[in-house]
Amino acid sequence: MQADIGNALDGALGLDRAALDDLDDRVADAHERIASGRRESEHGYAALNLPETCDPEPIREAAAGFDPESVLTVGIGGSALGAATITDALDSPVDAYYLDNVDPAWVRDLLDSLDLSETVLNVVSRSGTTAETLANFLVVREAMTDAGVDWTERTVVTTGAEGNLRAMAEKHDLPALDVPEGVPGRFSALSTVGLFAAAVAGHDLDELLAGAASEAEKLSGSLYDSPGYAYGAVSYALAERGAAVNAMMPYAESLERFAEWYAQLWAESLGKDGRGQTPARALGATDQHSQLQLYRAGPADKLVTLVRPRESADAGIPETELEGLEYLGGSSLGDLLDAEFRATEASLAAAGRENVRLEINRVDERGLGELLYATEAACVLYGELAGVSTFTQPAVEWGKKAARGLLGGGDFPEADAVRGKRTLEID
Amino acid sequence: MQADIGNALDGALGLDRAALDDLDDRVADAHERIASGRRESEHGYAALNLPETCDPEPIREAAAGFDPESVLTVGIGGSALGAATITDALDSPVDAYYLDNVDPAWVRDLLDSLDLSETVLNVVSRSGTTAETLANFLVVREAMTDAGVDWTERTVVTTGAEGNLRAMAEKHDLPALDVPEGVPGRFSALSTVGLFAAAVAGHDLDELLAGAASEAEKLSGSLYDSPGYAYGAVSYALAERGAAVNAMMPYAESLERFAEWYAQLWAESLGKDGRGQTPARALGATDQHSQLQLYRAGPADKLVTLVRPRESADAGIPETELEGLEYLGGSSLGDLLDAEFRATEASLAAAGRENVRLEINRVDERGLGELLYATEAACVLYGELAGVSTFTQPAVEWGKKAARGLLGGGDFPEADAVRGKRTLEID
């Protein structure tokens, strides 16, 4: 992977090379902290060791027992997004689906569309108590039984060492994968959590991990040595200067879910203590016709991150009789997409709007492994520089308790607060 | 539709009822301007007249000639998002697809998955020169010919009074729908542009327009009379106090595309003159496990807009033996989703984070018509209060010229700027 940060300098927010050089001293300290955390396998930091510590063999073994039409992952947040990012990006004859919401109509529609006898079910929850995931699991399990499918023959669990799902796996002798210790969900794409569906879909786990390892090797005490740290340092420096928003805009439909994965990584890791850059999801070239007006002419409060695969399959544009469009005929969709990419990048720069280009060779296992790892490294470095607790998400607990109280799962004062909602209704 | 703005008051950004009452005087003036613009059918303002001026009959007639498996819309930005919002939200036996990007692999995959002899093609471009749309049209047309399908028998164009597509429609005697005058693409969901695919899919255009009309009737000189204006006024007032971001978070998978449509509406209409609230797309309950940490504990620079359909199909959660989950058994996914919704809303309020609730009865034609129209009215009012040129998008022209220049479509200095990109590459 390569990062080009040329357009992040000397824009409206005033970051210049001298300031970045100054920041590099702090990057050295932050790197020491990160390296120490990795050596001790501390909570969170351990995620950056996954290219070495994740053993793909048990994952492949758990997948090898099936030859399904589809793999259905039941999980939410980090228990779904990493796997979905990988399987959405790569082609496979096995379809991968994700039940990561509890919308009843949508759950029903998805289950109705699947041949459950040809589906592998992977239920993913470290604790075994995530309400959305367990509710969906109960619904899917019943649907399998209703369809005459023995769910114990088609279910794999990915969970912690203890809890409901672990006990269930032991009781029914289900294949069970371990959620690694010290790896928060949003950093678990390159572990059992993110790789089981990829294995069922036939993707090359070794290449995914090798891509990640190649970026891990570049990490050093200088932001100029690795794309991951360079991106993290620039994001942090621009956020300090007013880039409240970081828009992730890959120029590949297959990376649309990557932007969603990034949004969780960035929001949950950095959004605390009244600080944190807000991730915005975008997609090139489509969002040129939606978000570009704002990015270019709205507030100078954004970094736009453009992701470009250097090579992909192409499709020719036929010659045409249509007036004024002769220039398109004989070109290709790939040429057009790349021209749009470069035009958008330059268009932002010409308006003084900071942007960064992240490049991988192709959207394949290696490129994805590089991209996921480098983005995680960027996030960890940003968190270190900002002095936040990167690997926790305490603010979501309030709502979990409130929801549980509302459903009769115990007495929680948060549920009373819900009932006391202040209203000003306009019909 | 109903808007509840109770949680937008007295939060971290300090908007209170007295300030809102003061703002209401300005709403009266803004409404006068909007009403005058509508009376004169001025550019942009004319969009708010669509519930009356849009005649669904020609749209139904153009659709009636087909009994297809699928309808493929080729368009980008506002030429796709309105239609996609409607067809994604509503169930139909006819599948609706959108070619709104020029990613070659993705275009090829989509075309390979369709039976083109059972597909209606709708190519949508007011000017007939939108590069992405016309390139895709040329590719699809050739694919139809290669598949032995007479494209002239299966193509409908939606375009302006003049230009390439109009000329082509006349030459080949294709059904042609008129893009209405004075209606920017992002405001065209309730016109030919947004309704053709819905008609092919069998949706009730009268109900869509009736839902919109019911919200149009509520518009008056006070923000307290209509959900649309209430939402627009509160969004503006909070933006002035620091809500740089407006996160649109529907609690329905079927409204995921609505959030994308909203993001275009908001960004292109309001993002200019160095100002404009940045739209963020989210989805309940999924993003509670991704964005909520940031929304609740990050910077107090956000309004979170929660959209709730009051009724939907439900699915029971089976009773369970799993420890600690007894409270879920016998409940339903709908109960769980609604508890999550209310918990999230209260969780934000308890942290002083402003939020608004928009409610429709159901995700059906009427509810969608209400939601689309009220959101457009909100945007137009916001633009009026902010004093921006709501209906233009001048900042995207630079990039269009640059891309055209790069592809050999003429001499443009913008293309030279692209070639002179400043780089700082990190491998």
Residues of A catalogued as catalytic = 268, 289, 400
pLDDT digits (tens, 9 = 90+) for A198-237: 999 999 999 999 999 999 999 999 999 999 999 999 999 9
- Rounded percentage of chain A residues whose pLDDT exceeds 90: 98
Quote the pLDDT of residue A108.
97
Whole-model pTM?
0.98
Joined tokens for residue A142: 């019943």
The edge-to-edge listing of strands for the beta sheet with B355-360 is: A425-426, B2-4, B355-360, B302-309, B245-250, B278-281
- CATH architecture of structural domain A48-203: 3-Layer(aba) Sandwich (3.40)
Yes or no: say if A65 and A199 are a contact pair by the CB < 8 Å rule. Answer: no
Cβ distance of B264 and A424 shorter than 8 Å: no
Dmax (CA) for chain B in angstroms is 71
Cβ distance of A323 and B268 shorter than 8 Å: no
CA dist B30 to B19, B49, B79, B128, B157, Å?
A: 17, 17, 28, 34, 36
CA–CA dist B375, B180 (Å, integer) = 20
Which residues in B lie closer than 8 A to residue A343 (C-beta atoms)? 399-400, 402-403, 406, 414-415, 418
The edge-to-edge listing of strands for the beta sheet with B155-159 is: B95-99, B70-74, B119-125, B155-159, B176-178
Report the pLDDT averaged over residues A391-399.
97
Quote the pLDDT of residue B324.
87
Q: Which residue of B has its CA nearest to A3?
A: B426
The edge-to-edge listing of strands for the beta sheet with A2-4 is: A278-281, A245-250, A302-309, A355-360, A2-4, B425-426
At the fourth CATH level, the homologous superfamily of domain B49-203 is Glucose-6-phosphate isomerase like protein; domain 1 (3.40.50.10490)
- Rounded percentage of chain B residues whose pLDDT exceeds 70: 100
CA–CA dist B250, B287 (Å, integer) = 10
- Among B290, B336, B347, the residue with its CB nearest the CB of A131 is B336
Give the Cα-Cα-Cα angle B141, B147, B152 (nearest 5 degrees): 40
CA–CA dist A104, A96 (Å, integer) = 20
Joined tokens for residue B33: 């301007």
pLDDT digits (tens, 9 = 90+) for A162-209: 999 999 999 999 999 999 999 999 999 999 999 999 999 999 999 999
- Is the pLDDT at B143 greater than 90, yes or no? yes
Residue of A255, A294, A362 best to disrupt the B interface, most CBs of B under 10 A: A294
- Our CA-based measurement puts residue A39 at a distance from the nearest CA of chain B, in whole angstroms, of 25
Q: Which residues of B303-338 are buried (b: 16+ CB within 10 A; e: fewer)?
A: bbbbbbbeebeebbbeebebeebebbbebbbbbbbb
Please name the residue ranges forming H helices in A114-255: 131-146, 164-172, 192-200, 205-216, 227-240
ipTM attached to this prediction = 0.98
Q: Which residue, B58, B384, B359, is CA-closest to B199?
A: B58
Quote the pLDDT of residue B338.
97
| Residue-averaged pLDDT of chain A | 97
Cβ neighbours for B240, distance < 8 A, ≥ 6 positions apart: none
CA dist B63 to A381, A382, B114, B176, B177, Å?
A: 55, 53, 19, 11, 11
Please name the residue ranges forming H helices in A201-358: 205-216, 227-240, 256-270, 292-297, 333-350
Quote the pLDDT of residue A324.
87
Report the pLDDT averaged over residues B12-23.
98
- Is the pLDDT at B133 greater than 90, yes or no? yes
- Is the pLDDT at A355 greater than 90, yes or no? yes
State the pLDDT confidence band at B187, using cuts at 50, 70 and 90: very high
Cβ neighbours for A397, distance < 8 A, ≥ 6 positions apart: none
pLDDT digits (tens, 9 = 90+) for B331-349: 999 999 999 999 999 999 9
Q: List chain B domain ranges.
A: 2-36+209-386, 49-203, 399-427
CA dist B168 to A320, B174, B200, Å?
A: 12, 8, 22
Q: Which residue of B has its CA nearest to A370?
A: B427
Say which range, A191-200, A406-415, B14-23, B321-330, has the weakest mean pLDDT: B321-330
- Among B102, B244, B346, the residue with its CB nearest the CB of A421 is B346
- Our CA-based measurement puts residue B175 at a distance from the nearest CA of chain A, in whole angstroms, of 18
What residue has token string 């709908």?
A: B334
pLDDT digits (tens, 9 = 90+) for A315-340: 999 999 898 899 999 899 999 999 99
State the pLDDT confidence band at B402, using cuts at 50, 70 and 90: very high
Quote the pLDDT of residue B247.
98
State the pLDDT confidence band at B139, using cuts at 50, 70 and 90: very high
Examine the residue annotation and report whether B260 is marked as an active-site residue of this protein. Answer: no
CA dist A228 to A14, A194, A234, B170, B426, Å?
A: 22, 20, 10, 54, 9
Which amino acid would we find at residue A138? L
* Residue A25: how many other CB atoms lie within 10 Å: 11
Supply the DSSP string of A367-417, one letter for each residue. Answer: HHHHHHHHHHHHHHHHHHHHT--TT--GGGHHHHHHHHHHTTSS--HHHHH
Strand, helix or coil for residue B5? coil
pLDDT digits (tens, 9 = 90+) for A13-38: 999 999 999 999 999 999 999 999 99
Q: Which of B132, B215, B260, B268 is catalytic?
A: B268
Report the pLDDT averaged over residues A96-112.
98
β-strand B2-4 against B355-360: which pairing, if any? antiparallel
Quote the pLDDT of residue A160.
97
Cβ distance of B418 and A332 shorter than 8 Å: no
Quote the pLDDT of residue B154.
98
CA–CA dist B274, B97 (Å, integer) = 35
Q: Do domains A2-36+209-386 and A48-203 have the same CATH topology?
A: yes
Q: Is A73 exposed, middle or buried (0-12, 13-18, 19+ CB in 10 A)?
A: buried
Quote the pLDDT of residue A85.
98
Q: What is the CATH number of domain A2-36+209-386?
A: 3.40.50.10490
Examine the residue annotation and report whether B400 is marked as an active-site residue of this protein. Answer: yes
pLDDT digits (tens, 9 = 90+) for B195-252: 999 999 999 999 999 999 999 999 999 999 999 999 999 999 999 999 999 999 999 9
Say which range, A297-306, B316-325, B354-363, has the weakest mean pLDDT: B316-325
- Is the pLDDT at A84 greater than 90, yes or no? yes
- Is the pLDDT at B76 greater than 90, yes or no? yes
Distance of CA A116 to the CA centre of its chain: 27
